Amino acid sequence: MKKRYNTLNDYYRLIFGEKIFKVPIDAGFDCPNRDGTVAHGGCTFCTVSGSGDAIVAPEAPIREQFYKEIDFMHRKWPEVKKYLVYFQNFTNTHDRVEVIRERYEQAINEPGVVGINIGTRPDCLPDETIAYLAELSERMHVTVELGLQTTYEATSELINRAHSYDLYKETVERLRKQAPKVEIVSHLINGLPGETHEMMLENVRRCVTDNDINGIKLHLLHLMTNTRMQRDYHEGRLQLLSQEEYVSTICDQLEIIPKDIIIHRITGDAPRDMLIGPMWSLNKWEVLNAIDKEMERRDAYQGCRLV
């Protein structure tokens, strides 16, 4: 059944002509919000291993990680022959461009690689790094995934994000101007402390109207063990979303996202042994099906509330 929103799977099939794997890699980068460059301790929702908790062999050399990941994925999809290398964990442009180049090239020249996705922050894209990304975009499909999480400065301070929304907008403008072929994806988190339903909608409105982006990732806040946010939860400053609240929020957000923007994600994954809540999020397909059913019940489509 065709989705009522612009899915990443459909988009990749359109531009690559077949199903592809997104291969997550831990390239050994740190985060400026952890090492003292801009702050210490990281975002309050972030675990000690960053966003790479599900990477198969994060300690292995980059090329070895690549082959371990595709071997694992081929157990389910043996027919897939094209890959996007996903530098996922921490901030993957947080170093000198020479170091970045050396680490990227260890994976992107492997057979079958048709592109690269780079998870990073808006405060870690100096001009020389953007120039390298522009060069890469002449060779393959390049996507920069920019962590934004919220457009509200009060929330950003509360979660120790350590960069402003204005900086985010400036970075998107520089990327668009200096590396026009690079696709830009924004990350937002639903359920951050103190954010109401209307604020979550406003995060999306600002993200898609203030910025010239190609895609968006909408995450549920996962409360994980060994995070600073764990204390907020136990002291009553954080209320986790119910599945019904989350589904309603996602559907409302989809209705105000322009039809040409690719929806890279509308939920997320978390390791069961590290997750404090919401536990319903472990049933990922149930959540996705609930979103589909609610969009069908409303007879709604992506962008249908835009004038």
**Tens of pLDDT, residues 168-209:** 999 999 999 999 999 999 999 999 999 999 999 999 999 999
How many C-beta atoms surround the C-beta of residue 133 within 10 A? 24
Please give the full DSSP string across 246-263, using - where no structure is assigned: HHHHHHHHHTTS-TTSEE
Strand partners, 262: 215
Q: Are 230 and 277 in contact (CB under 8 A)?
A: no
The pLDDT value given to residue 93: 94
d(CA 63, CA 111): 12
Residue from 213, 163, 155, 159 nearest 187 by CA: 213
- Residues 6+ away with beta carbon under 8 Å from 136: 104, 108, 116, 142
Q: Are 91 and 120 in contact (CB under 8 A)?
A: yes
> What is the 8-class DSSP label of residue 222?
P
The pLDDT value given to residue 235: 83
Report the predicted TM-score, pTM, of the whole model to 2 decimal places: 0.93
The pLDDT value given to residue 34: 86
The pLDDT value given to residue 25: 92
Q: What is the pLDDT of residues 265-274, one digit of tens each?
A: 999 888 888 8
**Cα→Cα distances 99→57, 129, 135, Å:** 21, 10, 16
Q: Are 204 and 216 in contact (CB under 8 A)?
A: yes
d(CA 293, CA 289): 6
Q: Are 141 and 84 in contact (CB under 8 A)?
A: yes
d(CA 82, CA 302): 28
From the centroid of its chain, how far is CA 23?
14
The CATH label, of 3.30.750.200, 3.40.50.2300, 3.30.750.24, 3.40.190.10, for the domain at 8-298 is 3.30.750.200
Q: What is the pLDDT of residues 107-141, one digit of tens each?
A: 999 999 999 999 999 999 999 999 999 999 999 99
Predicted confidence pLDDT, tens digits, the chain (307 residues): 689 999 999 999 999 999 998 999 999 998 888 888 888 877 888 876 555 445 566 678 899 999 999 999 999 889 999 999 999 888 999 999 999 999 999 999 999 999 999 999 999 999 999 999 999 999 999 999 999 999 999 999 988 888 899 999 999 999 999 999 999 999 999 999 999 999 999 999 999 999 999 999 999 999 998 888 888 888 888 889 999 999 999 999 999 999 999 999 999 888 888 899 999 999 999 999 999 999 999 999 999 999 6
The pLDDT value given to residue 56: 63
Residue-range domain boundaries for the chain: 8-298
